[in-house]
């Protein structure tokens, strides 16, 4: 249980740091948030729990393929906000787009030999 609490604390501190920096320096906060800290931490936690190179390779590759359909969300949200949409509506629509694109990636990926 302590191991889980430590993982949650470290992960939460990264998110808190990015959001705190973004209040004063939006670009720098975005840079911190865009770095693959969550993915790297996830790989570290996974490796500590199950040090299996084949499993880690599959995880890292799947992460790459799932990052791509999440990127359009970061273009849709600012467009909607700049056109006067409420933040929560913009965020919801961005998340819905991402979920839809995840579904498309999950459906199309295996047709191209991707094992997600």
pLDDT digits (tens, 9 = 90+) for 21-41: 889 998 888 887 777 877 888
Query: Can you list the residues of the chain whose pLDDT is less than 70?
Result: none
Give the pLDDT confidence score for residue 17 in this predicted structure.
Answer: 86
Straight-line distance from the first to the last Cα atom of the chain, in angstroms, rounded to the nearest whole number: 29
Give the pLDDT confidence score for residue 111 in this predicted structure.
Answer: 93
Give the pLDDT confidence score for residue 88 in this predicted structure.
Answer: 98
- The tally of CA atoms less than 13 A away on the side-chain side of residue 51 is 1
Give the pLDDT confidence score for residue 7 in this predicted structure.
Answer: 81
pTM of the model: 0.76
């Amino acid at each position: 249980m302590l191991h889980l609490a430590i993982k949650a604390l470290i992960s939460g501190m990264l998110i808190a740091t990015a959001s705190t920096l973004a209040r004063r320096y939006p670009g720098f906060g975005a840079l911190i948030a865009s770095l693959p800290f969550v993915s790297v931490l996830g790989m570290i936690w996974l490796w500590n729990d199950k040090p299996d190179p084949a499993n880690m390779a599959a995880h890292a590759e799947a992460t790459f393929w799932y990052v791509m359909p999440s990127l359009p969300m970061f273009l849709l949200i600012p467009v909607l906000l700049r056109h006067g949409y409420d933040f929560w509506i913009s965020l919801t629509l961005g998340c819905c787009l991402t979920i839809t694109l995840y579904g498309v990636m999950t459906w199309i990926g295996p047709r191209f030999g991707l094992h997600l």
